[in-house]
Amino acid sequence: MHNIYLKLNKHIQTALDSAFPEEAAHAKKEGNLLNPQLAKATKPEFGDFQINGVFSLAKTLRKPPRQIAEIIVKQLVKSDDFNSFCLPPEIAGPGFINLTIQNNYLTKELISLLTDEHLGVPFATENSDDKSESVIVDFSSPNIAKEMHVGHLRSTIIGDSLARILSFRGHNVLRLNHVGDWGTQFGMLITHLKRVAPQALEKANVVDLGDLVEFYRQAKKKFDEDEYFQTCSREEVVKLQKGNNESLQAWKLLCAQSRKEFQNIYDRLDIDLCERGESFYNPFLSDVVEDLQKSGLLVQDAGAQCVFLDGFKGKDGNPLPIIVKKRDGGFNYATTDLAAIRYRLKSKPNGDGASRVIYVTDSGQASHFAGVFQIANLAKWVPQGCLLEHVPFGLVQGEDGKKLKTRSGKTIRLKDLLDEAIERAKADLERRLLEEGRVESQEFIAKVSTTIGIAAVKYADLSQNRITNYQFSFNKMLSLQGNTAPYLLYALVRIAGINRKGGNFDLKLTYPQFTEPQEWALVREILKFDDVILEVEKELLPNRLCTYLFELSQIFNRFYDQLPILKSNEPSLSCRLMLCRLTGDILRKGLHLLGISTLERM
Ligand code: ARG
């Protein structure tokens, strides 16, 4: 209903301008408008929209709210155009104005969705008010030679969905995998492997990621205990950073090995990513330090080059430096992120020319990003109108509220987690088939359980407000009841069933006539898809889309359970099939934007 919202807003502004010309002109001069605070209605009985701003207008205009509401309404209904799509407004309580859109107007909007691939969602383009932007989504970003953990899984799922939604809106999206492929871990790892498995540094496929992670653990232990090992590791890092051929060769092999494992997970999750790891920014690190020096931001502190920022204090209350060059000449995670910001915001061909950069990581990195964003701003690397945003998320916990672990207390491997989701989905499905006396092929069972298992994991993550911690529960996420992937997938299966039984909607339908409240509730919900997408684009909260799809499914199920569809007579039959078709289109598109594949039968 975004268009309707804009249209209404215009009418209300015009009404205010005509009713209060002096005050409106004054407000405009100050650079603001008399704000009616038009919003979606909070309850169906309030209609479709409500004007909430009468009370603050009353203060500005020095009149009682009720009187202002009456003046606005009187002005609104003077317009023929307004009366052609909106019912006479109702004043509620001390001065709320409720607005209900006329049925025939809603029907018209609904019909236009039938031929709109974008289902009513505006598409941003190069030359329009709704301008398409270059957006980078930095997500997933695991570290080489370390296991990809559930935090990376959250980042991967949330980042992918945001990238899909932004592309769907017409933005140019670059999906970057900022893998940790540089730094001290390689010094340790190479030193250790040289001693225990030198062949792994010379030939591909000698070790897999599981081994690498174990080697890394051993190396880290040695590093912490053994001084000589430490010196060797540091030398290895220096050799690598200087571009020593042998070291580079070993580094490449290790990266390739990890990459293969990561790719396995991405393939299973259907995630598209462009790998551009930390090593990419290596050539720009010294420029970053130089730039900061020039802008007078750099301070020497105990031999290190640092930046001190307002509001960055340690536990003792003393200012906390952000180190960009260590005493030994090495660079930090922060330096790499500064180089990345500089590169991403610089115009092409020396940069990405992005105007919005979104970082999806756990909230533990919030102060890191606040720091580097502040430095980038102070160094004037952020052109006007460009936006750097950290999209934080909470921890994944077990059902006991503690960190998610295996029964034996080890960290869970993603591969095992996905396997288990699929296994359990399969067991559920087989139980259901037995109960319903259905016989299905192994192929069907495999496909359905894989789709449901992966969908459940993704949806459970996305449907939570990402800021909070979330409790991982296979039972909840796989349930056919409640706000879960199986529940949504099932609504689509119902619609596919109707189509199979010959209920294919005929586009030639002449003007639909909806009569039942269950139909109207569905019409209204279908028309809210565009609002939700625009909201997610702004607030970067995919759970809003999940809630919407869940509500749409509930309203659809009520309609399906309470009204005959295939057994109804014309014109109801066509009208109802039209609602099935549009509900299906939106559910499918919405799930696709969450990265979830759908099924015809389950
Ligand atoms: N590799 C990091 C980690 O595992 C995440 C990187 C996020 N992106 C960034 N530009 N810093 O915690």
Domain boundary among 227, 247, 270: 270
pLDDT value at 390 more than 70: yes
Sign for the CA dihedral angle at 523, 525, 526, 529 comes to positive
Residue 595 Cα to ligand 1 middle (Å): 22
Total domains in the fold of the chain: 5
Separation of alpha carbons 263 and 148, rounded Å: 11
Closest CA to 145 of 246, 251, 240, 245: 251
550 contacts: CB under 8 Å, gap ≥ 6: 463, 483, 487, 488
* Closest atom of ligand 1 to CA, residue 333: 11
Nearest residue CA, atom 8 of ligand 1? 178
CATH number, position 540:
1.10.730.10
Instruction: Tell me the pTM.
Output: 0.93
pLDDT at position 33 over 90: no
- Is residue 148 domain-resident? no
Map tokens 């919202």 to a residue. Answer: 5
Of 165-169, 204-208, 229-233, 320-324, the one with minimum mean pLDDT is 204-208
**Is residue 418 very low, low, confident or very high in pLDDT (cuts 50, 70, 90)?**
very high
> 7 and 95 share a domain?
yes
pLDDT band with cut points at 50, 70 and 90 for residue 209: low
Give me the pLDDT at residue 508, please: 64
CA of 369, closest atom in ligand 1? 11
Q: Alpha-carbon distance 430 to 426, whole Å?
A: 6
What helix, strand, coil percent values describe the chain, rounded to 5? 55, 10, 30
Mutation to probe ligand 1, out of 342, 359, 361 (largest number of atoms < 8 A from CB): 361
CA 532 – ligand 1 centroid, Å: 29
Q: Does the Cβ of 140 fall within 6 Å of ligand 1?
A: no
Burial 283-315 (b: 16+ CB within 10 A, else e): ebbeebbebbeeeebbeeeeebbbbebeeeeee
Q: What is the mean pLDDT of residues 582-594?
A: 98
d(CA 353, CA 451): 37
Evaluate whether residue 200 is within a structural domain.
yes
Query: Are residues 573 and 489 both part of a single domain?
Result: yes
**Residue to substitute in 136, 141, 158, 177 for testing ligand 1 pocket (most ligand atoms within 8 angstroms of CB):** 141
d(CA 472, CA 406): 12
Q: Is the CB–ligand 1 distance for residue 258 below 6 Å?
A: no
348 and 296, same domain (yes or no) = yes
Mean pLDDT score of the chain: 92
CB of 180 shorter than 6 A to ligand 1: yes
**Which atom of ligand 1 lies closest to the CA of 340?**
10
Structure-token pair, residue 547: 């809630």
Residue 146 Cα to ligand 1 middle (Å): 13
Q: Is 95 in the same domain as 25?
A: yes
Identify whether 471 is part of a domain: yes
Residues 285 and 388 placed together within one structural domain of the fold: yes
Structural domain contains residue 61: yes
Higher local confidence (pLDDT), 257 or 494: 494
H or E element: which one contains 393? strand 387-393
Q: What are the residues facing 135 on neighbouring strands?
A: 173, 356
Q: Is the CB of 277 under 6 A from ligand 1?
A: no
160 Cβ below 6 A of ligand 1: no
365 Cα to the center of ligand 1, angstroms: 9
Query: Atom 3 of ligand 1 has which residue's CA nearest to it?
Result: 142
H/E run at residue 95: none
The answer as to whether 167 is a domain residue is no
CATH number at residue 375: 3.40.50.620
Please determine, for residue 98, whether its predicted confidence score (pLDDT) is greater than 80: yes
User: Would the CB of 337 count as within 6 Å of ligand 1?
Assistant: yes
pLDDT > 90? residue 147: no
Same domain? 529 vs 563: yes
Q: From the CB of 361, is ligand 1 less than 6 Å away?
A: yes
User: What's the sign of the alpha-carbon dihedral 205, 207, 208, 213?
Assistant: negative
DSSP 115-182: T-TTTT----BTTSSSB--EEEEE----BTTS---HHHHHHHHHHHHHHHHHHHTT-EEEEEE--B-S
Q: Closest residue (by CA) to atom 5 of ligand 1? A: 141
Distance CA 261, CA 302 (A): 41
Beta carbons within 8 Å of 571's beta carbon, 6+ residues apart:
512, 513
438 and 493 assigned to the same domain: no
Instruction: Write out pLDDT tens, residues 274-316.
Output: 999 999 999 999 999 999 999 999 999 888 999 999 888 888 8
Answer yes or no: do 286 and 389 share one domain.
Answer: yes
In the listed set 456, 477, 498, which residue is the last one of a domain according to the structure? 477
- Phi, psi for 495 (deg, rounded to 5): -65, -40
Instruction: Judge whether 582 lies within some domain.
Output: yes
Query: What atom in ligand 1 is closest to the CA of residue 361?
Result: 7
**Same-domain status, 353 and 259:** no
Residue 175 has pLDDT above 80, yes or no: yes
Under a CB-based contact definition with an 8 Å cutoff, are residues 57 and 67 in contact? no
93: CATH: 3.30.1360.70
pLDDT at 406 over 90: no
400 lies in a domain?
no
In the predicted structure, residue 272 carries a pLDDT above the cut 80:
yes
User: What value does the mean pLDDT take over residues 406-417?
Assistant: 82
Q: Return the minimum-mean-pLDDT range out of 438-442, 505-509, 523-527.
A: 505-509
Residue 9: closest CA among 63, 62, 50, 66: 50
Q: Percentage of the chain surpassing pLDDT 70?
A: 98
Residue 472 and residue 518 in one domain: no
340 CA distance to ligand 1 middle (Å): 12
Helix axes 414-436, 150-168, angle to 10 degrees: 70
Domain residues for the domain of 93 are 2-100
- Domain presence at residue 146: no
Q: State if residue 143 touches ligand 1 by the CB under 6 angstroms criterion.
A: yes
Residue 156 Cβ inside 6 Å of ligand 1? The answer reads no
Chain segment 150-160, per-residue pLDDT in tens: 889 999 999 99
Q: Is there an atom of ligand 1 within 6 Å of 178 CB? A: yes
Question: How confident is the model over 125-131, as a mean pLDDT?
Answer: 89
**Predicted pLDDT at 207:** 75
Domain boundary among 393, 422, 454: 393
Same domain, 468 and 491: no
Find the 334 Cα to ligand 1 centroid distance in Å.
Answer: 10
C-alpha distances in Å from residue 366, one per residue of 355, 388, 558: 21, 12, 43
CA of 354 to the centre of ligand 1 (A): 19
What amino acid is encoded at 171 in this protein? H
pLDDT value of residue 355:
96
> CB under 8 Å, gap of 24 or more: what pairs does 407-412 form?
411/147, 411/149, 412/149, 412/150
Lowest mean pLDDT among 167-181, 234-248, 355-369, 418-432: 234-248
Residue 519 sits in the same domain as residue 463? no
Query: How far does the centroid of ligand 1 lie from the alpha carbon of residue 278, in Å?
Result: 9
Task: Tell me, in angstroms, the distance from the centre of ligand 1 to residue 211's CA.
Answer: 23
Q: Per-residue pLDDT averaged across 181-208, rounded?
A: 84
Residue 100, pLDDT score = 97
Provide the pLDDT confidence category of residue 430 given band limits of 50, 70 and 90: very high
**Confidence bin at 507 (pLDDT 50/70/90):** low
